[in-house]
A = this chain, B = another copy of it.
Amino acid sequence: MDSRNDRILKAVDRLFDDQVRFLETLVRFPSLRNEEAAAQDFIEAALRARGFAVSRFRTDASRIGEHPAFSPATVDYAESWNVVGRKPAAGSGGRSLAFNSHVDVVPAGSPHRWTSPPFEPVRDGDWLYGRGAGDMKAGLVASIFALDAIAGAGLSLRGDVQVQSVVEEEITGNGAATAFTLGFTADAVLSPEPTDEQLVRANAGVLKFRLETKGRPAHPREPESGQSAIDLMIRLIGHLRTLEARWIAERQDKRLFGDLANPVALTIGTIAGGDWIASIPSDCAVEGRIGFYPGEDPKARAAEFEAFVERIQAEDPAFAGERLVGLDWVGVMHAGYELPEGGEAETCLRAAHADTHAGEDLRAYVMACYLDAAVFSVHGGIPALVYGPVAENIHGIDERVSLSSLRRVTKTLALFAADWCGVEDS
C-alpha cells in the first residue's frame, strides 16, 4: 500500500501544473448565481473526458416547502444547472464516496478595489487570486485531480465515486438538496471547502432574510411630517442586535460553540433605500443572515425571529400605526450539523492528512456558517467531511488560494479516497 501511496503522490505532483491551469480556466467562468452554465459545461466536458457518467439536472424548485433539505428561493431555476459525474467501482467490497463541491461564487464586491480583475486568475508566488479560487473552485478541481492521480498511478477505486459540482450553495443550498433528493449519496461525502486543511467538526444553522421598511415620504422642510424608511431600518437593525446578543448568549449551553466569539453572526449583506437626496425616503430594504446551533429546527428559529420582529412593531412607538415592516425568507433555512467524533471516514482522512503533513494530527474546528455538507449529514445521516485548502479573503477583496496547500489537499484527498474506497491495480 505504501508504494501505491507513493505512486499516487507522485501522480499528483506530475499532474499539478495541469491542475492549476484547469483551476485558472474555471476561475475565468464568472459563475455567479444563475450564470453557472458555462462553468458547468466545462466541468461536464472534463468529467466525460475522464470516463465519468455525467448527470446534468436543474435545481428543483418544486420541492421547496416539501422536503426539509430545500430552502426558500427568489429566482427561477431555469438556468440553475448541477452536474454530477459517477464512476462505478472497479472491484467489489469498497465503500462509495461522493466529492461534493459548489461551483457558484459570490459577487466580487467592489471590482475596482481588487488588485487585479476578479475573474482573471493571477498567480503571484504561492497564491492564485480570483473570485471563487478559494471558495471553492480549488476544492472542486482538487477532487477531480485526486481521482486523476489515482488513475494516473495505475489504480482503480473499489467503491463507486462521484464528483458533484452543484450550484446555489452561496444562497439556498438547493443545488445540494436536489442532488441529495435525486439519490446522489454515498457512504461518505467529502466537501473540499476552504478550511485551511482542517476538518469541520460542526457548522451553524442559518436563516437568510429580507426586511423592508415603509416610511412616510415627505419634504425635509417638515421632517416631522414624514417618517424615514432608512431611519426606521437603522432602528430595526439596532433591535435585531439585541436578538443576536440573546442568541449568542445561548452558546454557553451549546457543545462546541462555547468558545466562538460570535457563532450567530447577524450580518446585513445589502441595503437599499430612498430615491432622492432631499426626500424623506419611503422604502428601505436589507438582506442578511443569522445563525443558530446544530440540532435545532430552522423553522422554530425562523418563528422566533418572526415573533421578535412582530414584537418590535407592537412595542416600539416608532413602528406604530400601519404595518411598516415586511419580512421574507429568501435563502438558506437549514439546520446545522455536528460530525460525530471518531467515525471511520474521519479516521481515514486523519491518516491521509498525517501522511501529507509529516505525521501532524488533523485538527478540527467549528465553522459557524451554512455548508452543503449539512444536507447530507442532517437528512441522510451520512458522514460528511469538510476539508480543503488554505484560502484567504473568501467573499472579500483579492480572494486567493494557496497553491502549495492545494497540492497537499489534492494528495490528502487522493490518499483518503484510496483508503476509504479501497484500490486495486487497473
Q: A: which residues have CB within 8 A of B?
A: 106-107, 109-110, 113, 135, 170-171, 208, 214, 216-221, 223-224, 226, 228, 230-231, 234, 237, 261-262, 265, 267-284, 286-289, 291, 330-331, 367-370, 393-397
Query: Per DSSP, are chain A's interface residues mostly helix, strand or loop, or mixed?
Result: loop
- Of chain B, the residue at the smallest CB distance from A264 is B223
User: Given A394-B219, A395-B218 in contact, is the A269-B281 Cβ separation under 8 Å?
Assistant: yes
Residue A224 contacts which of B107, B262, B278, B331 (CB distance < 8 angstroms)?
Answer: B262
Residue A267 contacts which of B228, B289, B368 (CB distance < 8 angstroms)?
Answer: B228
Kindly report how many copies of this chain are found in the complex they form together.
2
CA–CA, A107 and B273, complex, Å: 13
Contact B107 A369 (CB under 8 A): no
User: Given A217-B395, A278-B170 in contact, is the A271-B272 Cβ separation under 8 Å?
Assistant: yes
Contact A270 B276 (CB under 8 A): yes
CA–CA, A56 and B106, complex, Å: 50
User: Given A234-B237, A261-B224, A268-B231 in contact, is the A106-B279 Cβ separation under 8 Å?
Assistant: yes
CA–CA, A275 and B261, complex, Å: 25
CA–CA, A43 and B395, complex, Å: 53
CA–CA, A224 and B276, complex, Å: 34
Contact B270 A109 (CB under 8 A): no
Contact A282 B113 (CB under 8 A): yes
A-B contact pairs, 17 of them (CB 8 A): A107-B276, A109-B281, A109-B283, A170-B276, A171-B278, A208-B278, A217-B393, A221-B369, A267-B278, A269-B276, A270-B274, A272-B272, A277-B330, A278-B289, A278-B370, A278-B395, A279-B395
Closest 10 pairs between A and B when the two form their complex, measured CB to CB: A221-B369, A270-B274, A277-B287, A217-B396, A219-B395, A269-B277, A279-B395, A109-B282, A223-B265, A107-B275
